[in-house]
Amino acid sequence: MHTLGNLPLTAYNAKLSNDSFHAKKKLLADSGLAMNREIAGASGWGRAEIQARGRTLGKRIVSIWPGPDESVTTSIPGPRWTLMNQVLASLPAGRWTSYSDVAAVIGSHQVAVGARLATVTVPNAHRLLKLSGHISPDFRWPDPERTDDPRKVLEAEGVRFDEWGRADAEQRLTAADLVEVVEFGSNT
């Protein structure tokens, strides 16, 4: 009683609980659910059958819903990553900065910044370039459906590139510039 193996899904719970197993089999045999019809196919309904059904249902449940994906973390970003998001959100169109500049502002390393951008959606990630002004060959949009060329997006925003694919250095915001932009933006 009151175990997984002994619970059918039905609107007739009150009727089933008071009837004999033979009467219950008739109602369950007409069920639209295969799991109820399986009970109706049993020759008896005692402790062994209920426990066996419980194990079978448990295996089905785990195969359909295996549980949380432990490889995915949904942790709240720490202060460093919150600051990075604030810095990136403050980057105006027509300007760019480098992974190194952002890393200097948030107290991290450029590789960690790049790794974060590869795994988490953040504002204006396409405006982060290598210190040379080149788009990183490893740059990927966080949204796998997005396939547009980041250079074309930057050009449409007003960033100029030279013949070697370097963004105009005059349009770069350095670490010091980023601090000013963020501080000014937080006071308004």
Q: Is the pTM of this model over 0.85?
A: no
Does 41 have pLDDT greater than 60?
Answer: yes
Does 187 have pLDDT greater than 50?
Answer: no
pLDDT, one tens digit per residue, over 85-129 is 999 998 999 999 999 999 999 999 999 998 888 888 888 999 999
Does 49 have pLDDT greater than 90?
Answer: no
pLDDT, one tens digit per residue, over 65-83 is 877 666 655 556 688 888 9
Does 188 have pLDDT greater than 60?
Answer: no
Of residues 185 and 6, more confidently modeled: 6
User: Between the CA of residue 9 and those of 4, 39, 45, 50, 64, what are the distances in Å?
Assistant: 11, 11, 16, 15, 17
Residues 147 and 141: beta-carbon distance below 8 Å: yes
Query: What is the spatial distance between Cα 149 and Cα 182, in angstroms, rounded to a whole number?
Result: 27
Query: What is the spatial distance between Cα 172 and Cα 177, in angstroms, rounded to a whole number?
Result: 9
CATH 3.20.20.140 fits 79-187, yes or no: no
Helix (H) or strand (E) holding 160: none
Going by pLDDT thresholds of 50, 70 and 90, the confidence category of residue 168 is very high
Neighbours of 53 (CB within 10 A): 21
User: Between the CA of residue 35 and those of 2, 27, 61, 65, what are the distances in Å?
Assistant: 17, 13, 12, 17
> What does the angle CA 167 – CA 169 – CA 175 come to, to the nearest 5 degrees?
110
Which residues are within 8 A (CB) of 44 and not within 5 positions of it... i.e. 6 or more apart? 21
**Domain map of the chain by residue range?**
4-64, 79-187
Burial 91-127 (b: 16+ CB within 10 A, else e): beeebbbbbbbbbbbbebebebbbebbeeeebebbbb
Q: What is the mean pLDDT of residues 139-153?
A: 86
Does 16 have pLDDT greater than 80?
Answer: no
Does 45 have pLDDT greater than 90?
Answer: no
Query: What is the spatial distance between Cα 165 and Cα 136, in angstroms, rounded to a whole number?
Result: 11
Q: What is the mean pLDDT of residues 11-20?
A: 72
pLDDT of residue 73: 57
